[in-house]
Amino acid sequence: MNRLPGPWGSRIDRSRPIPFTFEGKHFEGYAGDSIASALAASGQWVLSRSFKYHRPRGILSMTGADANTLVQLPFEPNVAADRTPISEGLSVSAQNVNGTLERDRDAIIDRLGRFLPVGFYYRTFMGPRRDSWLKFWEPMIRRKAGLGVVDTTAPRRHFDKTHLHCDILVVGAGPAGLNAAIAAAEAGADVVLCDENPEIGGSLTYGRHDPALLADLSSRLRALPNLRLLTGTVCNGWYEDNWLPLIQGDRLFRTRARAVILATGSIEQPAIFRNNDLPGIMLGGAAQRLIRHYGVRPGQKAVVLATGDEGYCVALDLVEAGVSVVLVADPRSGGETGTFEAALRGSGVAIRKAATIEAAEGSVGNRHLSRVRVGGSWIECDLLAVSADQVPAWQLPCQAGAKVGYDAVSGSMTLSLPKAPIHLAGSVAGDSNLQDAITGGHRAAVAALLGLGHAVGEERISTRPTAGSPARVLPIVAHRKGRDFVDFDEDLQVKDLQNAVKEGYREIELVKRFSTVGMGPSQGRHSALATARIVAEATNRTVAEVGITTARPPVGPETLGVLAGHHEPLERRTALHARHLALNAVMKPVGAWWRPYVYGEASEAEEAIRDEIMAVREGVGLLDVSTLGKLELRGPDAGAFLDRLYTMAHANQPVGRVRYCLMLNEMGSVVDDGVACRMAEDRFYVTATTGAVARVYADMLFWNAQWRLRVDVLNLTGAFSGLNVTGPKARAVLEALESDIDFGREAFPYLSGREGVVAGVPVRVMRIGFTGELSYELHCPSSLAPALWDAVMTAGKTYGLKPYGLEASRTLRLEKGHILIGQDTDAITTPDELGFGWAVSKKKPFFVGKRSIEMRARLGQARKLVGLRFPADARDIPGESCLVLRGNAPVGQITSIGFSPTLGCTIALAYVHIDDSTEGSLVTVKCRNGNLVDVPVVAHAFFDPANARQEM
Amino acid sequence: MVASAVFPFIAGGAAHGTKLPVGAVTLSDLTASPRFGLKGGGSAAWLTAHGISLPAVNRIGAHHGMRILRLGNEDILLLAEGAGEALAELKAGWANDTGPKGYSSWREEGWAWMRLSGRHAPQAMERLCALDLRADEFGVDDIAQTRVGHIEAVTFRSQAGFDVLFDVTASAYFARTTAAEAMYCIDLPIDTEGHI
């Protein structure tokens, strides 16, 4: 119905009709049409309802920069209909309607506006009861406020992420950006040029320009292999060191550019008058885009509001597209008659100077523009094209540190950039016409090239033209009845902002927060300048003094999929992973590691865990401890280094001995433990907890850099695997293996270490363990771990050796009262609170955290970690983290708890008040069901407190 | 009795069964290939004394068919793909030396060694690594100690593409991550056509 004949419509392919639906009705467009253009071609101008008053809204900018055209797709809300192409069978619906787009029950709100003044919600939703907000208002507002609807059943989409590096990134492929990119690439730079549109050219594609210019730029661009072009790509932010996210559909290019040229253009501004939001009122650029990109006639009978050549070109385009232009209103009082103005007059179009649009009226229900008032007279029309004011696209420059200024003479915003490898070109830099933009692009390229050290030959940076643009400030025509919208997203009118100032919010950032101006999807693109002018007038300041609100990334909306991390979770497998799977282990993640939880069927886990525990207590068990942190410290000062880092003494530790290691941070809190085996005078093998080794290693590197001792730190966590052979029959199993190590009690006593070969595998063996039983921990190069595992399993058959999993290990260690760092300690745990005074050297002059624990000791100790033993017939058993009370006050918590098959009762570790920490004291624990239970304190080691078994 | 080594991708290994991408992006496992690392005081001096000319830090040199990766002043890795004999001789000399000689860095055990090759290997690396790996910026003898596939890694150019050394326990993860990214490596994510 509104489709123009070719050659109008550069983006559409008339040979490929595309059917789709909107609000359940069938429509047809052409391949290349946007949803909005296809609907407009069929006479469907209303696309949505406004956020607050539910007023009909239609095409405003055709740039995806406003909330008017947001629509709902089946699996995606808030889609810009003026940028999203149609596809076969696409089902599109309107958003923010109660009922249908045509008949929206909430349209009544438009008549209740006076009861909904700016900031009304800050006062309205407070009562009547304290919980009214949560119970009543918030649910209601959520229903009303939601724009689109998220479909949680939407199919999974892949969002591709990649990195992109270049010498120069040019954002915007309009005339300035194209010239900048081509100039930079022709000088040899590696250039990336991106543009949000599907084609290059910017205003050259829809404005009234010589097509030969774009064709020439295009052919030069194609001849440059070092110029990479990204069309359909939004540069959505600027971050430090020229890191910029480029979003092309579902693909994110994480881009790092040595220099950036921002040729982001300018943003046309709406005019403000009563009913300035009616469908049929659009920006001049939108009308031109409809005509040239999509071959759509934007109206039948038009009025154009113009303040310069751009506006007159819009009027000429409309005339050529067959639109009857009844009037061009030009607020300027006179001035030169330009070429375009003369051409218009030649076409018989009436031009009225010193005139602006004073008000508009719509058809029934305000569904379309029906007439505008100019100079007191009403003029019938169905299109008002506003080409009157523009602001530089300030978002990216401001994120990069640009300061916004205001030229009161020309009435335009200005931008200044800091001294950095960032440059502006084109209308964003104030280049006000095509020739200036082309020159500006070239100038920016030369500046960027020089900054990167490129030889630019005889080129010189031409100076920016100094002649300012003529003033063309649009009057803001406020109306006593309102509906003179400043911010279409939030339905904010002139009086709303004036009232915000009257409420005392003088500063622009406060006005924004009180009124929500600029908070909607368009992020102030069409309201920032007008808001600044209104606030300036209301506070008797200049626009420059008022300024605009802070611009932060992202520039435009971005889907969460683009922001989401990668889909492959990090996993680490020990060298024995396949052995565990072959033994039918139930594997569970522990941090990034996969560890066997229990061997056997998950459905019989409880019984299997008990069997594993009993195997260790009565026979022999085998545990994969490869996830343990393993560090090697080598060098003449290795002992001295450990002395400074850990609480015990290591410099004097004999070769072949193993010593407990306790690590504190600088505030004296316990952060890790392990053991250190001295393998040679200059070599220690040190273990760290699975979860903390990365931090311990990093700390070691840090301190090594500070202390500059002669020591090298090597993280062997992945290089070495560990097998713990534990239980009364452990020695017998190892003695059955071919080895050069004497595993006898005297030859290899508790807390000693040996190097040798077991079953053909070079090993480091330590007599340590977590179970309280006779234990040997065998560490070997990881590639040989499967061979060692197999050998131990084979040798163990005679002794009933059983591999055991993590859960059995946890219970075994709890029975022995061993702590788990991170589970039984927290951010403030001191050695004294753990009863680990024995592990802290009193003689060493220094170790990390020493001064802090001495200072903290002077403050007095408030709590202590103790054992709790519950009666075998206890009915109420607390869980981990359940509170320990003293009176009614919480004084601690359960840190570990579990049923001990060995002891036949539940045992726990818990922090209790220091006065309750002596053995036999009764402490009160609050169970998850709220019941309080009194339970006696026992020593840490529930099992074999004399250590007879582990030292046998 | 000599035990046989089991590396992640071979039968009985922790990553066995994990598919390696083949085609436009090919991931090959070199973890079983001979290599040897020295780290700590005395390492550089010992290697120099044995006739190896050490490159600058983060650069690669060569010696008797081996690639000499200088990861730090006293952190050197020798890769001996196709030069196993030369390496074995050097290792034997080191093992028998009782004087100052640095310390083994156990890289042959701690690090997996994999190679990305194929027509789209550069695109795969662009997805896996944030570093600027353009040929002009990252040459054939350059080393990057960085993150690849979100884990710490050492990478450098090989004849066929990029070699990556990383924590051996993450072998299955790295292969899956690379395979996942390989699926989306296409010829022209960036074009010069312009659709005009």
> With an 8 Å Cβ cutoff, are B5 and A783 in contact?
yes
Question: What is the second-level CATH architecture of the domain A485-552?
Answer: Orthogonal Bundle (1.10)
Nearest to A224 by CA among A182, A275, A287, A175: A182
b/e for A386-416, b at 16 or more Cβ within 10 A?
bbbbbbbbbbbbbbbebebebeeebbbbbbe
Tokens 């946007």 locate to: A34
Query: What 3 state SS string does A43-84 have?
Result: CCCEEEECCCCCCEEECCCCCCCCCCCEEEECCEEEEECCCC
Query: Which residue from A491, A523, A487 is spatially nearest to A116, judged by alpha carbons?
Result: A491
Chain B: closest CA distance from residue A137 (Å): 44
Topology of the domain covering A862-951: Elongation Factor Tu (Ef-tu); domain 3 (2.40.30)
| Contact check, Cβ <8 Å, B168/A782 | yes
* pLDDT at residue B46 greater than cutoff 90: yes
Distance from the Cα of residue A531 to its chain's centroid = 30
Contacts of B8 in chain A (CB under 8 A): 573, 575
CA distance readout (Å), A343 to A203, A349, B144: 21, 9, 63
Contact residues for A222 (Cβ-Cβ < 8 A; gap 6+): B192, B193, B194
Q: Which CATH class is domain A161-267+392-452?
A: alpha beta
CB-count burial class (<10 Å; 0-12, 13-18, 19+) for A904 = exposed
Classify the C-alpha dihedral A819-A824-A825-A831 as positive or negative.
negative
- pLDDT reported for residue A146: 61
Q: What is the number of CB-based contacts under 8 A between chain A and chain B?
A: 170
- According to CATH, where is 3.50.50.60 located in chain A? 161-267+392-452, 271-387
| B6/A950: higher pLDDT | B6
Q: Could you say which architecture CATH assigns to the domain A271-387?
A: 3-Layer(bba) Sandwich (3.50)
For Cα atoms A694, A697, A700, give the angle at the middle one, nearest 5 degrees. 150
Residues A443, A448, A451, A454: is their CA dihedral positive or negative? negative
Crossing angle (nearest 10°) for helices B121-128 and B171-182: 120
What DSSP string runs through A409-450? TTTEEEEE--SSSEEE-GGGGT--SHHHHHHHHHHHHHHHHH
Please report which confidence band the pLDDT of residue B1 belongs to, taking 50, 70 and 90 as the band edges. Answer: low
CA B64 to chain A, closest CA, distance in angstroms equals: 27
B19 at A interface, C-beta within 8 A: no
The CATH architecture to which A9-152 belongs is: Roll (3.10)
**Which residues belong to CATH 2.40.30.110 in chain A?**
862-951
Least Cα separation, residue B30 to chain A (angstroms): 14
Strand order in the sheet with A621-624: A753-758, A761-766, A775-781, A720-726, A621-624, A802-803
Going by C-alpha positions, the residue among B191, B189, B132, B127 that lies closest to residue A173 is: B191
pLDDT of A26-77, one tens digit each?
A: 999 999 999 999 999 999 999 999 988 999 999 999 999 999 999 999 989 9
Closest partner residue to B126 (CB to CB) among A163, A192, A569 is: A163
Taking residue A573's Cβ as centre, other Cβ atoms within 10 Å add up to 27
Tell me the nearest-neighbour CA distance from A189 into chain B, angstroms.
11
Q: How far apart are CA A614 and CA A844, in angstroms?
A: 42
Q: To the nearest whole angstrom, how far is the Cα of B57 from the nearest Cα of chain A? A: 17
For residue A718, give the nearest of B136, B169, B195 by CB distance: B169
Q: A178, A256, A634, A684: best mutation site toward chain B, by most B Cβ within 10 Å? A: A634
Residue recorded with tokens 């607050």: A52
DSSP calls for A439-487: HHHHHHHHHHHHHTT---TT---PPPP-PPPPP-PPP----TT---EEE
Residue A422 tokens, joined: 């960032």
**Which residue from B12, B151, B192 is facing A229, i.e. has the nearest CB?**
B192
By Cβ distance, the residue of A221, A570, A635 closest to B40 is: A635
Give the DSSP letter string of B46-93. Answer: HHHHTT-----TTBEEEETTEEEEEEETTEEEEE-TT-HHHHHHHHHH
List the single residue in A with minimal CA-CA distance to B181: A160
SS3 A702: helix
d(CA A173, CA A175): 7
User: Which of A:531-560 have CB within 8 Å of B?
Assistant: none
pLDDT for res A463: 53
- Angle, CA of B126, B128 and B133, to the nearest 5°: 40
Instruction: Please list the rounded mean pLDDT of every run of 10 residues in chain A (952 residues).
Output: 94 98 97 98 95 93 94 93 96 91 86 74 77 83 76 89 96 98 96 96 95 96 95 96 95 96 96 97 98 98 94 96 96 78 92 94 94 96 94 94 86 85 94 91 96 76 51 77 93 94 94 92 92 94 90 90 86 98 97 97 93 97 98 97 97 97 97 97 97 97 96 98 98 98 96 97 96 97 98 98 97 96 96 96 96 96 97 94 95 97 96 96 96 92 90 85
Q: How far apart are the first and last CA of chain B?
A: 72
Q: Nearest-CA neighbor of A189 among A420, A423, A453, A441?
A: A453
Q: In whole angstroms, give the CA distance from residue A436 to residue A425.
A: 9
Mean pLDDT of chain B: 92
Contact (CB<8Å) A192/B190: yes
- Which percentage of chain B shows pLDDT scores above 90? 88
> Which chain B residues touch A157 with a CB distance below 8 Å?
none
What single letter denotes the amino acid at residue A667? Answer: M
Which residues of chain B neighbour A190 with C-beta distances below 8 Å? 134, 136
The answer to whether A228 contacts B190, with C-beta atoms less than 8 Å apart, is: yes
Phi/psi for A718 (5° steps) reads -85, -25
Give the β-pairing of B60-63 and B66-72: antiparallel
Contacting residues for A728 by C-beta, under 8 A, at least 6 apart = A617, A618, A619, A620, A773, A774, A949, A952
Mark yes or no for CB contact A229/B194 under 8 Å.
yes
**Which CATH number applies to A629-716+830-853?**
3.30.70.1400
Chain A closest CA to B123's CA: distance in Å?
Answer: 8
Contacts of A568 in chain B (CB under 8 A): 173, 176-177, 180
Q: Judge whether B15 is closer than 8 Å to chain A, CB to CB.
A: yes
Instruction: List the 121-150 stretch of A: residues with Cβ below 8 A of B.
Output: none
Radius of gyration of chain B (CA): 18
What gap in Å lies between CA A643 and CA A844, rounded to an integer? 8
Test A201 with B1 for CB contact under 8 angstroms: no
Residues 64-93 (B) with a CB less than 8 A from some CB of A: 74
Contacts with A248 from chain B: Cβ below 8 Å: 189
Q: Beta-carbon neighbour count of residue A224 at 10 Å? A: 17
Locate tokens 């590691």: which residue? A593
**Closest-CA residue of chain A to B129:** A163
Q: B3 and A787: CB-CB below 8 Å?
A: yes
Looking at residue A185, its pLDDT comes to 97
CA pair distance A621, A944, nearest whole angstrom: 18
Chain B residues within 8 A of A720 when measuring between CB atoms: 106, 109
3-state secondary structure of B123: helix
B176 close contact with A: CB closer than 8 A: yes
Instruction: Return residues 626-645 of A near B (CB < 8 Å).
Output: 632, 634-635
Q: How far off is chain A from B152, nearest CA to CA, in Å? A: 12
Closest listed residue to residue A852, CA positions, set A643, A668, A669, A671? A668
- CB atoms A229 and B193 under 8 Å: yes
Q: Alpha-carbon dihedral of residues B90, B91, B92, B95, nearest 10 degrees? A: 130
Domain boundaries along the sequence of chain B: 26-186
Taking domain B26-186, whether its CATH number is 3.30.1360.120 is answered by yes
CB contact under 8 A, A161 and B127: yes
Q: 10 Å Cβ neighbour count for B73?
A: 12
Q: Out of A198, A787, A791, whose CB is closest to B195?
A: A198
Q: Catalogue the E-assigned strands of A108-217.
A: 160-171, 191-194
Which residues of chain A are within 8 Å of residue B184 when distances are taken between CB atoms? Answer: 158, 160
Strands (E), A66-211: 70-73, 76-80, 90-94, 160-171, 191-194
Displacement of CA A924 from its chain's centroid (Å)? 44
SS3 A249: coil
Q: Does B152 touch chain A (CB under 8 A)?
A: no
Pairwise CA distance, residues A386 & A303, whole Å: 9
